Structure 1
Amino acid sequence: MLNHILAALNDCALAYDRDEAKYTFISTGIDCLTGYTIADFKQDIGLWQRLVDPRDKEQVQTATDRLNDGDTVNLCYRIITKAGKRWVTENRSLFIDEQTGHLILLSVVKDIQREEEEKYNQEHAIDGYSILFDNNPNPMWIYELSTLRILKVNTAAIKTYRYTEEEFLTMTIQDIRPGSEREKLDNFLDEKEITQTKSGFNQSGVWKHMARDGSIIFADINGDGIRYKNRDCRIVVAVNVTEKIRSREDVKLREQFLNSLIDSQTNFLMRIDINGNHTFVNKQFLTTFGYTGDEIIGAHFTTTSVPEEEELCRNAFVDCITHPGEVIKLSPKKVGKKGDIHDTEWEFIAITDEDGQVTGAQGVGQDVTERNNAQKEIIWTKNNLEALINNTEDLIWSINRDNRYLYMNQAFRDAYFKATGTIPVKGDSIYLKGDFDEKVFKKWDDLYKPAFNGTRYVAIDETIDPETNETIFSEVSFNPIYNSEGKITGVGCFARNITERIKINKAISDQNKRLQNIASISSHDLRKPVATMLGLINIIDKEDFYNPENKEIIEHLLTVGCEIDDVIRLIVDSSFTSNLP
């Protein structure tokens, strides 16, 4: 009997036996509604669940899970048919079949669009104002309060949002919003009671909407409650203000960028009005001098001037505003809030209005304290290094690849003057001055070449002192000079007089030779008479000292003693004479 009643309905009906997991009844209208046959549903019991639009699956499943025996729920959602998306209403109930005792889920589904077409032949009319709706240049739509589904849209909405009319009619007003805006919309509708029939005209402000291609549209929303197709609805006008919002955002971004750029500057930026009061300083200025914006804006520029330079700064300001277009440069000392002194450099130029009248000045400056201190340190170091280099008796000089002097210390200049009668200067050719012959030039060319090829080495040079005609020995080190790119651009030389060291070494060598000769004399000439003496002593008659033979032995000992004395004299003479025997 139940099956016959369900079959007689104009609506689509499905009865699903949960215990046996199968459909016990599907009405013939299922094909017209979905495009799928009764056989399709019986072969695939999960087909209906898959037809539910993903946007509505959660609410349908939640409502179904809450059903108990004898409960009924009314649903409104979208399904995806073979012909496209459409809205349906469903009366879904759960009960126990009296004959089988099985749990049955009964669904009676109605096609909302077909129902509305059958009941209303004047769908295009909106209280007689269809022309104002359809031809309005601003996007408009009507949505149902209870379900938020869109029931009608105008041409401007289709053009602006780029959804087709069919697509719009399968959507809710949540679907045209990015995900981040949907919870915001729910809260707004509850707060303003928009979904209540008593809600009237409302200016909702600017909202983010999303077009079909995912692009964001900023819409200024105004709506009012209406009765449409016997339903409580709202009619909405969405004024597209995207360009205006984008323009404002661009301006804001440019301002933020400029402010960020200004605050990120390591230079000082300053503007002064015609009276000399600060109207703007950037973050770098405030940080360096220790002021806050409130302390410096409106204060006179002499606030940071050291007393002895106030007049200098005032004169520079007057020059600036009286000579528009000219850049005024000055390098004053500035004092911070805590009394700290800074060396600064500034460039100022006059500010003019649209009429060309000077309204003040603006300047760009920088703190050069560290740079000046570094330069002072470099000068101090250079002077001390020069003093050290020029106070040594060692010769120091360098040449470039063009064989021109790059540097020479005072000892080098003095030696050069002593040898040639002229004083060399930086840039002179090493070949232009002096009475040096070609052999000297050739010798030094050969000495420089290895260093120009990257070899660091030491050579011994011999010269004749023009005043004493004595030989002078010098130890000269040759060192390649590299530039920042690693290329050899010159040779640095360091010459030290080692004449005394050579003399000492020679004297030590001579002394060693004399000692060797003394040792030779001692080992040969002295050993023979000593051996003879020892032999004679051994044959002396020690028991009878007056033995006549002892006299003869003593005479021989005297002769040997004279020989030993001669050898000793020879050793002494060898120790104090410069000429070796």
Structure 2
Amino acid sequence: MFAGISKCHNFNQTIAMSYAALKAAGLYLLLGIIWLCGYRGIWLFLSAQLPQVSPALLEYLLHAAFITVSAVFVYVLAKSSPVNRSEYRQLFYEHPVPMWIYDWETLRFLAVNEAAVRQYGYSEEEFMRMSILNIREPSTIQQLLDDVKNTRQEMVYRGIWQHQKKNREVFSAEIWSHSTKYGGRDARLVMAVDVEAEIRSTIIAKDIGTRYDLLAKVTQDSIYYWDMISGRVTRNHGPSSLFGYKETDIQEESSWWIERIHPDDAGDMLTSFREATTARQLNWEAEYRFRCANGSYKYVHDRGHIIYNEKQDAVRVIGVIQDITERKESIQQLQQQNETLKEIARINSHDIRKPVASILGIMSVIDLENNDAALNTQLFGMLQESTSELDVMLHKIRDKLKQLRNGNLPE
């Protein structure tokens, strides 16, 4: 009987899997037909509307949009369909964009899809013996470790990093990741989009300002192109979307940005950049506070790629500025909590010891037979004083624990 039930269950699973597979295939087919029918018209329309955009870049952006829309449809289908684990695995392994899952604690790969194998040149077996550090450009590994340390596990993360293939080829990858569970372990699911061609086409484009702005619209970060010869900076929507400035308030001069860096941070930031260019470093980064349109400050992480001419003079910088205010505030809150806990530990180990020792000493000399009433009266007064002192210490501990519980920590 159990064998029959098992066969029936497997049959139903097969039916469900086949149905979901047909839905996915049908969806891909429908999207493909729509794309084939409408692509030419969309391309001609946009070419007429955006004559300054090169046909190659426009074609790339249209295909990127199609891949994104397809991925969204597949995601919606996966969320709405009663698929089982094997179907999710199939969607993961056959996705056209490189994806992997890694262990949050050890950083070792737990699973990779076929696109990642093709992109990076490692076999699946090789990936399983590696960690995410092995596909990073060596000079960025410490930066990655610091970033992992400062990123909360539950946060959705996005950033552009330098990755390295098995053949040592380095390329720029835009990373999207979020937390998940895999095999009962805390892990992160990562999608890596190769944006090397986009960045290179931006650098060599004749009208780089317009083309770079078109590319920069796909990210939420503030992306900039700084021509150090002219001192002019081309930016995407970042100053508006992240910091609240009106387009009419934003100036192209590099001084406009520098003037809005917090006075306590500006000197260190400029010094670190000068040191990087003096040492002919290709990559530079800094953290500082930037003033928003409303007068408040946000913490930002500024990463730039420095380009030198044949005389090894720095001439251009392409950079990404990320808002890390939430991360910084979380770190500061943890530091404040640690200071409060240290203060509680100090009270426990030092301040409480004095009244407790006094109470114990008084108790040892009290005349229990009350032969010396005057002495006992004096001792009881001292005992009351020590007890009051102990009560004050206990109230201090209680207040600090209340601060921890309510998150109302002193600055």
Could you say whether these structures have the same fold, taking a TM-score greater than 0.5 normalized by the shorter chain as the test? no
TM-score by length of 1: 0.27
Higher strand proportion (structure 1 or 2): 1
Determine which structure has the larger helix proportion and give its number.
2
Q: Which has the larger Rg?
A: 1
Q: TM-score, normalised by structure 2?
A: 0.36
